[in-house]
Structure 1
């Protein structure tokens, strides 16, 4: 299975359907394909697009019927006006534009090829293009796009599956889809100055609601949902996760150096007024048989309430051009970073977010430094609850703590001398927490949650 999952950052999908001003929903697969095409820059990218266009007509998974609306605005046209026209552009007219938008019941949808068998080279190229996509539909429809091969066999309860019907049969709706030769057609249209819809082809779809024997359980959410991931390019020496703090500090320095002034407060951590900061994450190999705790990659967890303009400033800083190297300290070799994470499970965002269904039980992958000290009448379990609350997460039903790791491969504690002064002297714990409903991560807590420590991983049936 191959899936392309689109998360609508504003919860709204801005795109017109067949008629101008009428919202498109369900979303057309061609929209996502065109977004990938706009992000293609290398020969392997174009090869991947040609593979995708020939992979067959995909399914569309959406979270249900959307509320539809229209936005009205006046825009400057190219038509001359003898009466003066626009106040800003003399001699040109203002024209009324009506644009449709849809607000679905959840902020995600997916384009799915259930039988696709994608090779690693193509998967890496698709993943690389997806990371560059800023929006799907109109430019106001900001989106986060991810590509995966580990999709569930069925979508969450209550979602809908739109399946393509056989040729010459009519379905309940018609959607524009990629087809063999679509990439070349889009390139030619671009060269001629034509619109993408002029080379579009539609296919009919029929609806199959998803039934579930289990009640739909609403997920709990924390202050984060976006997780940008880099892998360590090979060859590289093994780096143990006891170096987490140093690596996270180096990533922070690199990101701040590449982000244009004024650096957003939630990125720098200065002046954020109690709002969550961007967290600089180190991703270790933990929790599986023979896990050795080595560092597999790095990540940025972006707060949900980061304003779109500031999110774009951060994205431009790390992706345009891409962040490809990291200097940790003088006597270390320069680390090479790559966005091509392939199939490595430790480098998949869902490994750390438990997406798309969430998880009830979470356990620390790196030790947690508590927000508070032990004293009479205060237990280590209470310190963990306090740290989770301060980080913006709901209170867990159960908390188990330990002075040693609870996952295979997890480090006991950071390397000596790597903790900043303001984090020393506080209890360092490992913890397992259980919530009453599934929680969608990522999840980190404690005094060093913005610099790699206190990172939790969902504890559920592991992929091997």
Structure 2
């Protein structure tokens, strides 16, 4: 059952300081309405109702997008015990400039909506009791009537629905929201004489109509991962052993299929079609990452025929599943199939990125170029060739480095683990930014099918 807290501005004006001083807050922050209810709570039942509401997720805001903004600038006298300089007329005081902005929407009513709240008991009655005691929302000059409802509000033609947003969405604005533990955090900060913004948390919102990707994401040659984690207890395996592990993984998979191996698994006779990539998954991309291998994976080509894919699946997770690797010079490794949400490096989304894609990617294992350095040919040119060879667009920014560019990235494969008979080509780490978001996994370079040139998405900067 949805829960709506509908607010009518008595004088049509909404006075509240936004995240930036002097800028009118609009649309209204859900936390602003929540704090008004907190200020009117009186009993243990009231606090229980508010704690239930804070656990109901980030709500939507239904409000008018057409507003007029007014701003007043003034100097406010503040008292202080010790002062250097300050007011020329009243020693011990300072004059501080202060700006106040307010928004006047075309429609004096807005609503904070939890569309899928799971209400129970007399929660709505408790919210109604608190709402009747709310005199204003925002500043005391922003008088309001607050009315909780157990239904969606009647939509108005001038309203927009502001909802929590995602990467790739335009016209976002940060709104403070309630969160689990918010009630207790507010009570604690109030007892210390602090303000609500000190414990506030903001998430990006945008109008629902704008929540389509600005551009369609680029999808690479691979669209799925089959992941095996190393079963515990297993001694940590250095990221430098990545080629040893992926070579053993490839041999084990081919042996299980036996005869009539699909071309996109073996790589023989696949022509220009992408192959299955055999990957080692290092611990990368967080403050404590050290690059040791967490598991192995198969990256499945997007255009792999269904029958060949089924043949591969039957061989590795069928009646006799792949559950161990024997690297020869290393102890036998027990495998456990399936992504592990508790371990970052064993989650599919860690390597694929979000559904709408990511623009910036960085190598978790070094990239081996598809060509050799020659006069007038830079390393950047070789990286561009490797990216373009498998269908990625030309990037708008490119950085190459002999050293890793993200925490935990594998520096180099251990000496003696490179496949025999391959030409010795340059190896580098890469950070790349595309004009359009890209959905992973992203793998590039001449040893991409054995796990070198594996990229991990970087967190988008606001």
Task: Report the TM-score when normalising by structure 1.
Answer: 0.54
Separation in structure 2 between the aligned mates of residue 461 and residue 215 of structure 1, nearest angstrom: 15
Separation in structure 1 between the aligned mates of residue 425 and residue 389 of structure 2, nearest angstrom: 16
Q: Are the aligned partners of 2:360 and 2:460 in contact in 1 as well (CA < 8 Å)?
A: no
Separation in structure 1 between the aligned mates of residue 211 and residue 281 of structure 2, nearest angstrom: 35
Q: Are the aligned partners of 1:222 and 1:394 in contact in 2 as well (CA < 8 Å)?
A: no
SS in 1 for 2:307: helix
Provide, for residues 416-460 of structure 1, a one-character-per-residue CA deviation record: whole Å limited to 9, x for no partner.
000013445211100111100100111111111000101011111
- Runs (5+) with no aligned partner, structure 1: 1-112, 117-151, 159-208
In the alignment, what sits opposite 2:379?
A: 380
In the alignment, what sits opposite 1:452?
A: 451
Distance 1:246 1:370, change over 3 A: same
Provide, for residues 389-421 of structure 1, a one-character-per-residue CA deviation record: whole Å limited to 9, x for no partner.
122322212211011111111122100000013
In the alignment, what sits opposite 2:259?
A: 261
SS in 1 for 2:435: strand
Distance 1:331 1:241, change over 3 A: closer
1:42-121 to 2 correspondences below 5 Å: none
Q: Give the CA deviation at 1:154.
A: 6.1
Q: Give the CA deviation at 1:339.
A: 2.1
1:361 equivalent to 2:360? Answer yes
In the alignment, what sits opposite 1:289?
A: 287
In the alignment, what sits opposite 1:432?
A: 431
1:351 equivalent to 2:347? Answer no
Provide, for residues 351-408 of structure 1, a one-character-per-residue CA deviation record: whole Å limited to 9, x for no partner.
1011312100111000011111111111101100001112232221221101111111
Q: Are the aligned partners of 1:157 and 1:210 in contact in 2 as well (CA < 8 Å)?
A: no
In the alignment, what sits opposite 2:227?
A: 229
Q: Are the aligned partners of 1:155 and 1:210 in contact in 2 as well (CA < 8 Å)?
A: no
Provide, for residues 222-254 of structure 1, a one-character-per-residue CA deviation record: whole Å limited to 9, x for no partner.
111111111111110000111000110111111
1:304 equivalent to 2:323? Answer no
Separation in structure 1 between the aligned mates of residue 412 and residue 400 of structure 2, nearest angstrom: 14
Based on CA coordinates, which of the two structures has the bigger radius of gyration?
2
In the alignment, what sits opposite 1:85?
A: none
Separation in structure 1 between the aligned mates of residue 116 and residue 414 of structure 2, nearest angstrom: 45
Separation in structure 1 between the aligned mates of residue 379 and residue 249 of structure 2, nearest angstrom: 31
Distance 1:259 1:405, change over 3 A: same
In the alignment, what sits opposite 2:214?
A: 216
1:1-20 to 2 correspondences below 5 Å: none
CA RMSD of aligned residues (A): 2.5
1:125-204 to 2 correspondences below 5 Å: none
1:239 equivalent to 2:237? Answer yes
In the alignment, what sits opposite 2:416?
A: 417
Q: Point out 4+ residue stretches in structure 1 off by more than 4 angstroms.
A: 113-116, 152-158
Q: Give the CA deviation at 1:280.
A: 0.3
1:270-281 to 2 correspondences below 5 Å: 270-281=268-279
- Runs (5+) with no aligned partner, structure 2: 1-114, 119-162, 170-206
Separation in structure 2 between the aligned mates of residue 340 and residue 295 of structure 1, nearest angstrom: 14
Provide, for residues 171-211 of structure 1, a one-character-per-residue CA deviation record: whole Å limited to 9, x for no partner.
xxxxxxxxxxxxxxxxxxxxxxxxxxxxxxxxxxxxxx943
In the alignment, what sits opposite 1:251?
A: 249
Q: Give the CA deviation at 1:335.
A: 3.1
Task: Report the TM-score when normalising by structure 2.
Answer: 0.54
SS in 2 for 1:226: strand
Distance 1:423 1:434, change over 3 A: farther
SS in 1 for 2:240: helix
Q: Give the CA deviation at 1:272.
A: 0.7
Distance 1:155 1:328, change over 3 A: same
Q: Give the CA deviation at 1:332.
A: 2.2
SS in 2 for 1:273: coil
Q: Are the aligned partners of 1:369 and 1:423 in contact in 2 as well (CA < 8 Å)?
A: no
SS in 2 for 1:211: helix
Provide, for residues 15-46 of structure 1, a one-character-per-residue CA deviation record: whole Å limited to 9, x for no partner.
xxxxxxxxxxxxxxxxxxxxxxxxxxxxxxxx
SS in 2 for 1:296: strand
Q: Are the aligned partners of 1:391 and 1:445 in contact in 2 as well (CA < 8 Å)?
A: yes
Residue-pair matches, total: 265
Q: Give the CA deviation at 1:330.
A: 4.3
Distance 1:244 1:114, change over 3 A: farther
Q: Are the aligned partners of 1:368 and 1:455 in contact in 2 as well (CA < 8 Å)?
A: yes
Separation in structure 1 between the aligned mates of residue 403 and residue 253 of structure 2, nearest angstrom: 32
